[in-house]
């Protein structure tokens, strides 16, 4: 991918304050993109993400908002458009976990994960479609998970939301292809982030032998894949799920 691959492009990254979102914002910024960083509550982490994007050579704006709330989403997208003048790239990354075995999982734990991880992606993508359709250009990348591909014990809510995101991706790809808008998903495996550190800490010895490459992924591994799908190098790829898991899930 050429240096400056995102010059003149404007990106919105949800959940961009930490982890995969922050790494993605930095990767797009280093390619010259203007990056709108959405965050829900951690203003300190968001400010650090903005600083890192600017250090990487991009420009960034912080936009607070809960993407599970329609009113917040409409405002977030409007502010992103006001910041950049257009919207070329959307990365639906915001997500949470509320892990438990199904028999102990509460309806509240189910609903909270569905609301942010799946409803949030629906609301933001829907809001982003109007400017993308008008300019006849767009790249949407949804952050799913190997849990959505293969399931994972103790994560019925998270796996269901991430599997739903894959079906959503394929449908948006079909609906928007005629407007030169692509929609793809990435499905990371075990990548240490604030969201997964507790799970990985408990299961590290059991998980590592299942990964053929013999290591956990990094947020940079995922960000590079997202950047590829957001670039013009991927202009003929849509409706696909790129699994980034070191070879763990092959089926």
Rounded CA-CA distance 189/243 in Å is 7
CB 128 within 8 A of CB 87: yes
Catalytic option among 39, 137, 158, 236: 158
Strands of the chain, DSSP E: 10-13, 34-39, 59-64, 89-92, 138-143, 181-188, 241-244
Angstrom distance (rounded) from CA 21 to CA 45: 11
Judged on CB neighbours under 10 Å (0-12, 13-18, 19+), 102 is exposed
CA 78 to chain centroid, in Å, comes to 19
137 is catalytic: no
DSSP single-letter state for residue 14:
T
Which sequence positions are flagged as catalytic? 158
């Amino acid at each position: 991918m050429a240096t400056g691959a995102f010059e003149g492009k404007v990106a919105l990254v949800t959940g961009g304050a930490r982890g995969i979102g922050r790494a993605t914002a930095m990767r797009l910024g280093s390619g010259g993109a203007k990056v709108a960083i959405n965050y829900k509550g951690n203003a300190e982490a968001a400010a650090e993400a903005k600083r890192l994007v600017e250090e990487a050579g991009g420009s960034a704006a912080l936009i607070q908002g809960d993407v599970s709330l329609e009113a917040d989403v409409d405002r977030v997208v409007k502010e992103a458009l006001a910041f950049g003048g257009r919207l070329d790239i959307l990365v639906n990354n915001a997500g949470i976990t509320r892990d438990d075995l199904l028999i102990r999982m509460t309806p509240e734990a189910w609903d909270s994960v569905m609301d942010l991880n799946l409803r949030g992606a629906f609301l933001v993508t829907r809001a982003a479609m109007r400017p993308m359709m008008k300019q006849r250009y767009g790249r949407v990348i949804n952050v799913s998970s190997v849990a959505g591909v293969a399931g994972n014990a103790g994560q019925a809510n998270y796996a269901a939301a991430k599997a739903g995101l894959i079906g959503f991706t394929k449908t948006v790809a079909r609906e928007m292809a005629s407007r030169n808008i692509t929609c793809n998903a990435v499905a990371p495996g075990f990548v240490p982030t604030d969201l997964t550190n507790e799970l990985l800490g408990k299961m590290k010895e059991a998980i590592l032998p299942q990964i053929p490459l013999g290591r956990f992924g990094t947020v940079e591994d995922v960000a590079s894949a997202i950047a590829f799908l957001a670039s013009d190098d991927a202009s003929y790829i849509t409706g696909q799920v790129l699994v980034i898991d070191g070879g763990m899930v092959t089926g």
